[in-house]
Amino acid sequence: MWKIEPPLENRKGTLYIGGANTVELAEKFGTPLYVTDEGRIRENARRLIRAFKPHYSNFKLKYAIKANNNLSILRIIRSEDTGADASCAEEIKLAKMAGFEAHDISYTGNYNSSSELKFATNSNVIINLDDAAILAKLLKFAVPETISFRINPGVGRGKYSGLVFGGGKTKFGISAEDAIEGYSAAKKAGIKRFGIHMMTGSCVMEVDYFSEITEKLVDIAAQVKREVGIKFDFFNIGGGFGISYQPGEEDLDINALGKQVAQTFKDGTKKYSLGEPELMIEPGRYIVGDSAILLARVHHIKHSAKTYVGTDVGMNTLLRPALYKAYHQIFIANRLNEKSKQRVNICGQICENTDMIAEDREMPEIREGDVLAILNAGAYGFAMSSQYNSRPRAAEVLVNRGYAEIIRERESVSDFIIRQRVPARLMK
Ligand code: LLP
């Protein structure tokens, strides 16, 4: 039988999230439906802050908006005393709409356009550059007060190869040598405040890895300080804190991680006389990942060479299984107490072979009309969904102590055509 953990509950065989009955939610709001528990987001943010702040008080949590950019969710996260990291102009706008102050927003783009750099400069957010040569482009129209560079510390790690953003095979970050060049140019141009950043991979489950890379970043910062003669106001060690997706997989020990990183950071900054700069982290998944489930309705079951369970959740709704072969646990929300007894392929309704949410998954008997709950859908779930095959994107509901509110309406065909312009000659 399934192990059901908060924010999920098994009440007499029915799945609840945040005190709300998922089967009733599926009926009331339709499927596919993303359901997010507000309480869980708050707990996750608080747990993270508690893991670091007691060990290093000059600490800031910045939420990586790309993981889930729903405005209501951004507002919940903002109210937990956080900042935000934006990957583009649109995310800067969303952060401001959600009430984040400019000084709490950073902009970490890559291969930026000049117009986006201009927008970020005018927005007064902290600009974090992915190449020393981009600084020259930026300096053509402005001298920002603060600049930081994204370093590739030479190592990377991630749950899937596509999620490794540091080391040799990646388009991200710059070497220590290029950083020296970048910071020298910045100093020469009159920039006054400096930060240093890295983001080396996503969904990392090893505690020690984070202190290893923190040490590397501090070493590089010390080298830059020596060569260029600048002082760092902040260090951003990125996000990447993993959550467990597989049944039985152990959670990341975030308290041990925070303590260890803070200690490494204190030791390093002391060793190199770097002062007491702000320590930042920039997670997405850890805050929102397990706060949401995705509800699917089973519409048809085909028994051919294999058993295919066809639902209204496909790669258009949740791309991760198709893109990374990512594993998401799946429960039958309306019959939680049944035992596993068959292997099935659970798929969507899209015209692609990769449209598979789970392959060869051991499940109890599934019937047409059942509601399936796909777990850990809060990060990179809706955010990576599409309208492929002309499927409207899902609705989103927020639950809080049993109370459910719609936070994104389901799309309809009008959403496909709203920006289209058909030339008059084609209308004849
Ligand atoms: N900061 C930067 C600059 C990033 O690029 C990312 C994620 C984060 C922070 C947050 O990383 P997190 O804490 O969520 O690991 N689509 C993939 C994840 C890609 C992550 C991209 N960058 C997935 O579904 O697993």
pLDDT one-digit tens code per residue, 254-284: 999 999 999 999 999 999 999 999 999 999 9
Look at residue 425 and tell me if it is in a domain.
Answer: no
Look at residue 341 and tell me if it is in a domain.
Answer: yes
CA distance 56 to 241: 18
Confidence of residue 242 (pLDDT cuts 50, 70, 90): very high
CATH number at residue 319: 2.40.37.10
Say how many CA atoms lie within 13 Å of 382 toward its Cβ: 30
- Looking at the fold, whether 335 and 196 belong to one and the same domain comes out as no
Q: What mean pLDDT do residues 189-202 have?
A: 98
Nearest CA residue ID for atom 22, ligand 1:
202
Look at residue 86 and tell me if it is in a domain.
Answer: no
- Looking at the fold, whether 174 and 306 belong to one and the same domain comes out as no
Look at residue 244 and tell me if it is in a domain.
Answer: yes
Predicted pLDDT of residue 2: 77
- The answer to whether the beta carbons of residues 243 and 327 sit under 8 Å apart is no
**Which positions are catalytic?**
351
Pocket of ligand 1 (CB under 6 A): 64, 66-67, 85, 108, 163, 199, 202-203, 238-241, 282-286, 320, 379-380, 384
- Looking at the fold, whether 240 and 354 belong to one and the same domain comes out as no
Look at residue 315 and tell me if it is in a domain.
Answer: yes
- Looking at the fold, whether 295 and 270 belong to one and the same domain comes out as no
Task: Give distance in angstroms: CA of 202 to centre of ligand 1.
Answer: 5
Look at residue 169 and tell me if it is in a domain.
Answer: yes
Tens of pLDDT along 401-425? 999 999 999 999 999 999 999 999 9
| Secondary structure (3-state) at 378 | coil
Predicted pLDDT of residue 169: 84
CA distance 30 to 46: 32
Predicted pLDDT of residue 63: 98
Task: Give distance in angstroms: CA of 283 to centre of ligand 1.
Answer: 7
- Looking at the fold, whether 276 and 335 belong to one and the same domain comes out as no
Closest CA to 342 of 302, 307, 375: 307
- Looking at the fold, whether 296 and 390 belong to one and the same domain comes out as yes
201-214: b (≥16 Cβ within 10 Å) or e = bbbbbebebbbbbb
Tens of pLDDT along 297-333? 999 999 999 999 999 999 999 999 999 999 999 999 9
Among 283, 318, 336, the domain-final residue is 283
- Looking at the fold, whether 245 and 293 belong to one and the same domain comes out as no
Among 283, 317, 342, the domain-final residue is 283
CATH number at residue 173: 3.20.20.10
Among 229, 249, 283, the domain-final residue is 283
CA-204 nearest atom, ligand 1: 15
Task: Give distance in angstroms: CA of 343 to centre of ligand 1.
Answer: 32
- Looking at the fold, whether 127 and 267 belong to one and the same domain comes out as yes
Q: What mean pLDDT do residues 143-155 have?
A: 97
Tens of pLDDT along 8-24? 999 999 999 999 999 99
Nearest CA residue ID for atom 17, ligand 1:
380
The boundaries of the domain holding residue 321 are: 8-37+289-417
Six token digits for residue 70? 């729903």
- The answer to whether the beta carbons of residues 318 and 380 sit under 8 Å apart is no
- Looking at the fold, whether 340 and 215 belong to one and the same domain comes out as no
Q: What mean pLDDT do residues 235-248 have?
A: 97
- Looking at the fold, whether 237 and 324 belong to one and the same domain comes out as no
- Looking at the fold, whether 247 and 197 belong to one and the same domain comes out as yes
Q: How many domains does the chain have?
A: 2
- Looking at the fold, whether 302 and 234 belong to one and the same domain comes out as no
Q: What mean pLDDT do residues 127-138 have?
A: 96
Confidence of residue 1 (pLDDT cuts 50, 70, 90): low
Look at residue 48 and tell me if it is in a domain.
Answer: no
Task: Give distance in angstroms: CA of 220 to centre of ligand 1.
Answer: 23
CA distance 365 to 367: 7
CA-380 nearest atom, ligand 1: 24
Tens of pLDDT along 41-99? 999 999 999 999 999 999 999 999 999 999 999 999 999 999 999 999 999 999 999 99
Look at residue 15 and tell me if it is in a domain.
Answer: yes
Predicted pLDDT of residue 340: 85
| Secondary structure (3-state) at 127 | strand
Closest CA to 176 of 234, 224, 134: 224
Closest CA to 199 of 166, 243, 154: 166
CA-150 nearest atom, ligand 1: 3
Nearest CA residue ID for atom 20, ligand 1:
202
CA-284 nearest atom, ligand 1: 14
